[in-house]
Amino acid sequence: MGTSSGEESGVTAAAEGVEAWHGLYDALAEEHDYEIGEIDGRLPDGLVGTLYRNGPGCWQVGETLLDHIFDGDGMVSLFSFPGDGRIHYRNRYVRTRHYRYGQRKGRAGLRGLGTQRPGGVLGNMLRPPANVANTGVVLHGGQLLALWEGGRPYRLDPDSLETLGEHSFDGRLKLMSAFSAHPSRCPETGELFNFGMDFTRLRSLRCYRVDPRGKLQHMPRISLPYSPWNHDFALTRRYLVFVINPVIPKAGPILLGTGSIADALTYEPDRPTCFAIVPRDGGKARVIEHKALLGFHFVNAFEDGDDVVVEFVRFADWDQVATRFRDFRTSDFPWGDALMRYRVSSSGRIEEQEVCGGPMELPHADVRQAGRPHRYTYFAGRTPTSTGIHAYDHVTGRRTTHELPPGHGFGEPVFVPRTPDADEGDGWLLTLAYDPDEHRSRLLVLGAQDVEAEPLAVAHLRHHIPMGFHGSFTTRIATPPR
Ligand SMILES: [Fe+2]
């Protein structure tokens, strides 16, 4: 790509005030395609399929540094496990308009979420943020989609990762529609559910149902007391469950271009958090108001009798989150303060339970448990001495940790079952770790029932993978291009 690497641009882990793991925010300039030659240990026999991951791969365009962690161009990686002990790695940037403009001009020209376009107020007035397709990735109905919460997905070839174009689901997702980066698949029906923030109608969310073959249907809109920014939701057998924070985009500076969109997101704790219980069958949503709280990433939800239970990572301080997203090159990661469960009764009563304390983020559960009670929650977490991957057992209350060496960078854990019908927890966690001494990343394969043990296998990449967001595993094996 046309941008320079972090080392060339001087944005390195050696800069003043930057800890070694911040090398994760150096750009990965190259697009790679190779069989990983250095694998310690042995890959489990049943680990067959493909891990896809997405995240910003580059936070600069030419010499221009981008001002927000969400503004980097989306770079999708795949790790293909054919089942013979080998791993093939490939990464490709999503050919979005933002990416192509930067390649062509060698400078930033589009407005981002936290990065203003050149030209001051007039240059940003009435400009929506560019879709950088950098947040999530899912294979559904044969389509590999790179997801970003403010716009339509980009469709990629699931083998070559070539960008095939913006995906409208046969025209059902109109221009300016949003298809969030956190869809949830029902393990019983194979349907994929998702939502999008509605930029054409205030105080509402759109919800979608995508059948197993990839056909999208609109569900009824959810009416809300305010127009929120919302990131995630969870699915039960009968409902979509939202916990909507009173983080509200201020329309004035966004539309007038007087400030960045990220800076216009304002936490208003005098307003309620809205628990929205949305029937999957299209019935009327229940919206229950609760005191303000902050949660961005959900683990799961399920029904317990007439109650709905939802689990997510709660945050204590919006200003800290916003500051760390903006000052990502020098700040600590924006950790959540606790894993929480909220029980919503049919009468609208809400009970809260702290499951375990943080700092933590990027939670994950076995996706086969989506919508039903899950026993294990996995997440990245911090201890006083290091970061690592944690597993929490809801039955025993035991928390186990795979600690990374001090100063090393971490990533989201993704659970892979040993077989399609293996018990919950019987499988592996795939996660990326970053070694600042070598400025390289490793793929760790951890035994999910013994995360404290040495990894079953460690695959050493030839380079680092910049700090990413979300990934997913599929049993389909991506094949190298001919
Ligand atoms: Fe997310």
Distance 148 CA to ligand 1 centre (A): 9
Tell whether residue 297 is among the known ligand binding residues. Answer: yes
Distance 144 CA to ligand 1 centre (A): 18
Q: Residue 202 contacts by C-beta under 8 Å, 6 or more apart in sequence?
A: 227
Distance 315 CA to ligand 1 centre (A): 14
Distance 248 CA to ligand 1 centre (A): 17
- Beta carbons within 10 angstroms of residue 36's beta carbon: 16
Alpha helices per DSSP H over 290-383: 318-326
- Beta strand 216-223 with 265-267 is unpaired
Superfamily of domain covering 6-474 = TolB, C-terminal domain (2.120.10.30)
Kindly state the helix (H) or strand (E) to which residue 293 belongs, with its residue range: none
Q: Note the pTM of the prediction, 2 decimals.
A: 0.94
Kindly state the helix (H) or strand (E) to which residue 445 belongs, with its residue range: strand 440-447
Q: What is the DSSP letter of 330?
A: T
Distance 105 CA to ligand 1 centre (A): 30
Separation of alpha carbons 195 and 177, rounded Å: 10
Distance 443 CA to ligand 1 centre (A): 20
Kindly state the helix (H) or strand (E) to which residue 102 belongs, with its residue range: helix 97-105
**Nearest CA to 295 among 238, 335, 371, 244?**
244
Distance 107 CA to ligand 1 centre (A): 27
Tell whether residue 88 is among the known ligand binding residues. Answer: no
Distance 171 CA to ligand 1 centre (A): 26
β-partners of residue 247 are: 267
Distance 127 CA to ligand 1 centre (A): 24
Distance 244 CA to ligand 1 centre (A): 14
Distance 361 CA to ligand 1 centre (A): 10
Q: What is the pLDDT along the chain (482 residues), one digit of tens a residue?
A: 333 333 333 344 445 557 889 999 999 989 999 999 999 999 999 999 999 999 999 999 988 899 999 999 999 999 999 999 999 999 999 999 999 999 999 988 899 998 998 888 998 888 989 999 999 999 999 999 999 999 999 999 999 999 999 999 999 998 889 999 999 999 999 999 999 987 667 788 899 999 999 999 999 989 898 888 999 999 999 999 999 999 998 888 888 989 999 999 999 999 999 999 999 999 999 999 999 999 999 999 999 999 999 999 999 999 999 999 999 999 999 999 999 999 999 999 999 999 999 899 999 999 999 999 999 999 999 988 889 999 999 999 999 999 999 889 999 999 999 999 999 999 999 999 999 999 999 999 999 999 999 999 999 999 999 999 999 999 999 997 55
Separation of alpha carbons 13 and 461, rounded Å: 19
Distance 252 CA to ligand 1 centre (A): 26
Distance 327 CA to ligand 1 centre (A): 18
Distance 45 CA to ligand 1 centre (A): 31
Distance 295 CA to ligand 1 centre (A): 11
Q: Residue 208 contacts by C-beta under 8 Å, 6 or more apart in sequence?
A: 173, 179, 193, 194, 195, 196, 216, 217, 218, 219
Distance 469 CA to ligand 1 centre (A): 6
Distance 461 CA to ligand 1 centre (A): 24
Per-residue CA distances from 421 to 63, 93, 178, 425, 427 (Å): 50, 35, 34, 11, 11
Distance 122 CA to ligand 1 centre (A): 31
Distance 374 CA to ligand 1 centre (A): 20
H, E, C per residue of 224-263 = CCCCCCCCCCEECCCEEEEEECCEEECHHHHHHCCCCCCC
**Nearest CA to 255 among 264, 245, 246?**
264
Distance 234 CA to ligand 1 centre (A): 12
**Nearest CA to 473 among 74, 76, 78?**
78
Distance 36 CA to ligand 1 centre (A): 28
Per-residue CA distances from 122 to 67, 118, 261, 314 (Å): 19, 9, 15, 38
CA 397 to chain CA mean position, Å: 26
CA 130 to chain CA mean position, Å: 18
